Amino acid sequence: MSKVVPSRKNRELAEKALEKKPALGEDIDLSAYSSSAEEHRYQNEPSHLPSQEKENMLKVGITLDDRSQRAGTFVQIDRSVIHTSASQDGVEVMSITKALETYSWLEDYWWRAVSVDTDKFTAQAEVNLDNGYFIRALPGAKVVYPVQACLYIAHQNLAQKVHNVIIAEEDSEIHIITGCATKPMQASGLHIGISEFYIKRGAKLTFTMIHNWAPGVAVRPRSGAIIEENGVFLSNYVCMKPVRSVQMYPVARCVGEKAIVRFNTILVAPPGSNLDTGSRVLLDAKGSRAEIVARTITTGGTIIARGYIAGSAPDVKGHLECRGLILSERGVIHAIPELKGELAGVDLSHEAAVGKIAEEEVEYLMARGLTRDEATAMIVRGFLRVDIEGLPPELAAELRHAVEISEKELF
Amino acid sequence: MLQIQGLSVETGGKEILRGINLFIGTGETHVLFGPNGSGKTTLLMAIMGFPRYKITRGRIIFKGHDITNASLDERARLGIGMSFQRPPVVRGVKMRDMVSACLGSRDDGTAVAQLAERLNMGDLMDRDVNYGFSGGEIKRSELLQLLVQEPDLTLLDEPESGVDLVNIALIGEMINELLQKNLKRNRTRAGLIITHTGHILDYVHASKGYVLIDGTVRCERDARECLDSIKKHGYEGCATCLK
C-alpha cells in the first residue's frame, strides 16, 4: 500500500518515534507480530463473504446481507480493503489510500488531530500503513442511515495498522458504526488504529464503535477529534468481550464556540481482560460543553477508567461520570476522573462510584418476587443501559443489540 | 392468612422484637401503632423475610405454610407484598420494567398501562425507579407495583406519610382496591398497616389495632378504639392497657 507519498516531515517524526514507549498501558513488542497477510479479494457484493465471518461482523453492528438501512459500507480484512460503497448522495466512503490519491487536500488533515510521534504505535501506522477508511459527509448533507465500517483480523498474529479519517463538513449530519472483530478463536493479534475526526461548523457526527476481539488480541487505538463552532461529536464505545488488552485515551478538542462533545463508554472485563480506556476533552472555546459517561463492569478483569476535562475558555461546562460494578471477587476497577479549570468561569464536575451491586436494591426487587439472580441481572441490565441523548433510533437499537448479546453471557 | 407465634427478632446483633403473637384472618386488615423505634418496621421486614432481620424464636405461618425459614423472594411469590417507606433508587431500571417484573409470568400490559394512568404514573413509567421521585410519587409507585403484584397479604409501612391532603384520598382508594375492600364478602386479601397518625383509617377500614412498645405488643383491640385511646392517653396509657 505504499502508493501514498508521505510527507517527509511526518515520516521523519515517525521514524524517530518507532521505539517510543506508550505513555499508558503495557508496552508491546511489535517484532513479535507479523506484518504480512494473504491478500483478500475485493467483493463488489460483500454479502458473498463466508457466513461465519458475516456473523462475526453482525455482532459488532455490521450488516452485509441487507444494507438497505446503511448509507455506506467499508470492510477491511487484515490488510485488504475488500469492499467500499456509498448509497446516499452527500456521503463518501473509500479506503484511506484511495482518498489520499484522490484528494491532495487530505494532507492537511493527516496527523492533525493525532500526533504522528505520539508513540511507537502512531509511528508504526505512518511507516507501515496497511489501510483504513475515509468517510466524509459533504457540506449540508444529512445522512439518514448510518455508514458502517468493519475492521477485521483473520490472519493469525497479524499487526493490523489502519489510519482512518472522518470528516463531517459544515452543517452536515452523519452517523458511523465501526465494528472491530477477529475470528472468534484468534490466538494472537494486534490492532493499531489511528482515527482522526473533523467536525466542521454546525456539523454533527455520531460515532459508535463496537469491539469484539479475542482473548489473545491487543488493541491500541489512537484517536483525536477537532470540533468547530456549533459542531457536535457524539462518540460511543462498547467493549464487552474478552480481549488481552485495550489501551486508548482519545482526545476531543472543542476549538469553536458552543461545540459539544459526548463520550459514552460501556466496558465489561472478563477474567484476563485488561482495559485501560478513557476520554479526554479540551474545552478551548467559549461556551463549549463536554459530557463523559462510563459504565464499567468487571467479572474478573482489570479496568482503568480514565476521564479528563480541561476548561480554558469562558462559559464552558463539563461533566464526567464513571460508575463501576465489581461482579466478582477478583476484578479491579480503577476510576481516574480528572478536571482542570484554567479560568474562573468554567463549570466542571465529576461523579465516580465503584463497588458491588447494592444489596438493598437486590432485596427491593426480590420483595417483588424476583429471585436473587433475576434481580441482579435486572440491575446490571439497567446499569449498562446508558440513555444516549441525541442518538438516532436505528443506532440506539444497534447499540442495545450489541449490549444485549454480551449481557446474556454475563450470567 | 397470617399467624405469628412467639416471634423474636434481632437485627445488627440487637433484639428488637420479643414474643410477638398476631393473627390476621383472610379478608382482614389490621393496623400497627407505636412510638418511633418500637419495632413496627422491624416486624414488617421480618414478616417479608429480609435477611438482615433474624428470627431468633417463634414461627410465622402464612396460608398454612411455615415460612419462618423461607427466603424473601419465596415469600413474595407465596403472596406477601410490601410497600416501602423509603425504597432505594435503582438507576437504569425503568419503572416500566419494574412493574413488568411485578407481573411475573402473567401478561397483562394493557391493564398495567391503565392502572398507571389512573395513579397519575404515566409520566413516571420511563423514569429510573424512584430516581428523583417526590414523596407522593414514591407512595403511588409502591402502590402501583403492589396492585400489579396482587399479593394476598399486603404490608404497608406508613402509606400516608408525606402525602398531601388531595392525594391521600387517592392513596386510600388504591389501598382499598389492593385489599378488596369493595367486596362485601369472599375477600381473599389481607393487610397489615403501620400508621403514625391514624389518618389512613379515615380512608381504609381496619378491624384490629395493635400498639407496639419496646418490641412487644402491649395492646390489641378495635383499631378505632385503639387510635382514640392513643389520642387520649398517649402511648403511656397503652403501656398499661390490658385489653
Residue A204 has what pLDDT? 97
Same domain membership, residue A347 and residue A362: no
Q: Which residues in chain A have their CB less than 8 angstroms from residue B145's CB?
A: 368
Query: Which segments of A349-392 does DSSP mark as H helices, in order?
Result: 359-366, 372-384
Query: Which segments of A69-137 does DSSP mark as H helices, in order?
Result: 96-102, 120-127
Q: List the grid coordinates of B238.
A: 397503652
The vertex-B231 CA angle with B226 and B237, nearest 5°, equals: 70
- CA–CA dist B17, B174 (Å, integer): 30
Q: At what angle do helices A372-384 and A393-408 cross, to 10 degrees?
A: 140
DSSP A270: -
Would A150 be classed as within a structural domain? yes
**Is the Cβ pair B92, A366 closer than 8 Å?**
no
Q: Do the beta carbons of residue A94 and residue A102 sit within 8 Å? A: yes
Same domain membership, residue A139 and residue A33: yes
**pLDDT tens figures, B50-70:** 999 999 999 999 999 999 999
3-class state of residue A107 by DSSP: helix
3-class state of residue A162 by DSSP: strand
Per-chain mean pLDDT for chain B: 88
Q: How many domains does chain A have?
A: 2
Provide mean pLDDT across the span B75-80: 95
> What number of CA atoms fall less than 13 Å from residue A128's CA on the CB side?
17
Residue B136 has what pLDDT? 84
Q: Do the beta carbons of residue A254 and residue A318 sit within 8 Å? A: no
Beta carbons within 8 Å of B56's beta carbon, 6+ residues apart: B8, B9, B10, B15
Exposed/middle/buried for A199, CB within 10 Å: 0-12, 13-18, 19+? buried
E strand or H helix at A54:
helix A51-58
Same domain membership, residue A172 and residue A256: yes
Q: Is A364 on the interface with B (CB under 8 A)?
A: yes
Q: Do the beta carbons of residue B35 and residue B196 sit within 8 Å? A: no
Would A1 be classed as within a structural domain? no
Residue A320 has what pLDDT? 96
Q: Is A339 on the interface with B (CB under 8 A)?
A: no
Phi, psi of B127 (to 5 degrees): -95, 160
Q: Which of B122, B86, B132, B125 is nearest to B102 (CA)?
A: B125
Same domain membership, residue A368 and residue A340: no
Query: Which segments of A69-148 does DSSP mark as H helices, in order?
Result: 96-102, 120-127
**Is the Cβ pair B91, A383 closer than 8 Å?**
yes
Provide mean pLDDT across the span B35-40: 90
Residue A17 has what pLDDT? 95
Best mutation target among A351, A364, A372 (most B Cβ atoms within 10 Å) is A364
Residue A2 has what pLDDT? 43
Give me the total of CB pairs closer than 8 Å, taking one residue from chain A and one from chain B. Answer: 65
Residue B221 has pLDDT above 80, yes or no: yes
Residues with pLDDT less than 70, chain A? 1-6, 387-391, 394, 409-411
Q: Do the beta carbons of residue B69 and residue B99 sit within 8 Å? A: no
Same domain membership, residue A377 and residue A350: no
**Which candidate from A371, A375, A385 shows the least CB-CB separation from B92?**
A385
**Is the Cβ pair A367, B90 closer than 8 Å?**
no
Would A2 be classed as within a structural domain? no
Beta carbons within 8 Å of A228's beta carbon, 6+ residues apart: A199, A200, A201, A203, A255, A256, A259
Same domain membership, residue A374 and residue A257: no
Would A3 be classed as within a structural domain? no
What ipTM does this complex have?
0.93
Chain-centroid distance, C-alpha A369? 39
Q: Do the beta carbons of residue A240 and residue A248 sit within 8 Å? A: no
Same domain membership, residue A378 and residue A351: no
Is CATH 3.40.50.300 what the domain over B2-240 is classified as, yes or no?
A: yes
Provide mean pLDDT across the span B20-25: 93
Residue A67 has what pLDDT? 92
Same domain membership, residue A368 and residue A244: no
Residue A397 has what pLDDT? 76
Residue A4 has what pLDDT? 54
What does each C-alpha distance from B74 to A397, B54, B62 come to in angstroms?
Answer: 35, 16, 12
- CA–CA dist B242, B211 (Å, integer): 11
**pLDDT tens figures, B112-122:** 777 788 777 77
Q: Which residues in chain B have their CB less than 8 angstroms from residue A373's CB?
A: none
Residue A1 has what pLDDT? 44
Chain-centroid distance, C-alpha B134? 20
Q: Is A183 on the interface with B (CB under 8 A)?
A: no
Q: Which of A356, A378, A394 is the last residue of a domain?
A: A356
- CA–CA dist A179, A77 (Å, integer): 12
Would A104 be classed as within a structural domain? yes
Q: Is B51 on the interface with A (CB under 8 A)?
A: yes
Same domain membership, residue A47 and residue A195: yes
Chain-centroid distance, C-alpha A56? 18
Q: Which of B35, B32, B36 is nearest to B44 (CA)?
A: B32
Domains of chain B, residue spans: 2-240
Best mutation target among B52, B73, B130 (most A Cβ atoms within 10 Å) is B73
Domain hosting A34: range is 8-356
Q: Do the beta carbons of residue A103 and residue A91 sit within 8 Å? A: no
Same domain membership, residue A407 and residue A340: no
Across A287-296, A324-333, B14-23, B170-179, least confident range: B170-179
Residue A75 β-bridge partners: A83, A150
Would A213 be classed as within a structural domain? yes
Q: Which residues in chain B have their CB less than 8 angstroms from residue A404's CB?
A: none
Q: Which residues in chain B have their CB less than 8 angstroms from residue A361's CB?
A: 88, 90
- Looking at per-residue pLDDT, the higher value among B89 and B182 belongs to B89
C-alpha Rg value of chain A to the nearest Å = 21
